[in-house]
Homo-oligomer: A and B are copies of this chain.
Amino acid sequence: MEIAVLGWGVVGGGMIKLIDEAKTPLLKQLHVKRVLIHRPEKAVDDRCTTDINEILNDPEISIVCECIGGLEPAHEYAKKALEKGKHVVTANKKMLATFASELFDLARQKDLTIGYEACVGGGIPWIANLERIKRLEPVEAFQGILNGTSNYILSQMEQKGAGFAECLKKAQELGYAESDPSDDIDGHDVCYKVVLSALTAFDQAVDPKEVPTFGIRHLTKEDFAFAKGQGRTIKLIGQGRKTAEGVSLQVLPVMVKADSLLGSVSLNFNAGKTWSKSLGPAAFVGQGAGSFPTAHAAVQDLLDILEANSPVAAFEPAENQAGDKQTFYVRSQKISVFASVTQEKVSDDAIVTKPLTIDEIGQLLKAAKDEDLFLAGIEDD
């Protein structure tokens, strides 16, 4: 089966290497015919082209692997590939979460597959295992550590007692964080992954903009010290849950028990946990990022298409629900705004709240207008 890879970068390059050096009979059935690159002087071999039409108009190419990143032209190329009758595999969670309804509608019309295992959880077979559970029974909820960069920073802060800025700098030096790390540390990257997980698990497509999303940018050593004093650590958790009315998604730093499974997931590792009736809780842990684990996931999508074993995601647009009440930790220079919901005073500028919905705490955050505020959930005992 002939494929084309768009972008010879971290993920695209990993895919090309895995396929070129195929180790198994099944993988040897795949062949990279074309690679879209941006600048002609970067051509590595004669498969490289700077002209997308050479790929789109080639009837031999059955699958287009989009590894460019960003919204455009990634979205345009994915759409055109589907229009031309080609399956699409992508590692681009932002693009796919943003244009999910349009692209999956098109794929269903054309009886094509969009493979997106590489979008969520790096090498963890997360999407495949959600699909597997769903064959048998509904997935009731999921929760995950889905961003390697922020988890690396959090685990450094925990182990070394270091400050946020110092740990971010270290992550950037190691290549775990980009020069503009906003998407990773402000939770947006996790938000896209939660949207794609929910679409898989619940058949419900929520607009990423509607998902309450809080990051770790304003986390301090003091916040961490409070968590540690409670036998907890802080993890950036994306989660989704079925509610009576629909689904409730959120992205939030959470103080989890240090000796719990999610509490033990350190460095740039990712983890995903599912709940369903007969299986109970199940968890998947692995490399959250990096060229080869992510490329491995994308190539697994190719093998599923090769084996004609890819369910086409079917879902409906859904509004996000506020979900259950939770207890929050809030640190703010304007902590008095939270007086009416305070359950326990932690320090002069930090409190633990009574149980509130995420919408209720959101209203108070708006009222506080404190750009340095830090918010975390506190996991039930």
Residues of A whose CB lies within 8 Å of any CB of B are 14, 18, 23-24, 26-27, 123-125, 128-129, 132, 134-138, 258-261, 263-266, 277-287, 290, 292-293, 295-296, 299-300, 303, 307, 309
Min distance, Cβ A360 to any Cβ of chain B, angstroms: 33
By a CB distance below 8 angstroms, the chain B residues around A281 are: 286-287
28 A–B contacts, CB within 8 A, in A order? A14-B278, A23-B136, A23-B137, A24-B134, A24-B137, A27-B135, A123-B278, A125-B129, A125-B282, A128-B132, A132-B300, A258-B259, A259-B259, A261-B261, A261-B265, A264-B264, A278-B295, A279-B286, A279-B296, A280-B286, A280-B287, A280-B290, A280-B292, A282-B286, A283-B284, A284-B284, A285-B285, A309-B309
Q: Which residues of B contact A258 (CB under 8 A)?
A: 259
Closest to A159 in B: B259
Q: Is the CB of B136 within 8 A of A303?
A: yes
A283 to B287, CA, bound (A): 10
Cα–Cα distance between A124 and B258 once the two chains are bound (Å): 23
A27 neighbours in B (Cβ, 8 Å):
135-137
Closest CB in chain B relative to A143 CB, distance in Å: 13
Q: Check B279 against A287 for contact (C-beta < 8 Å).
A: yes
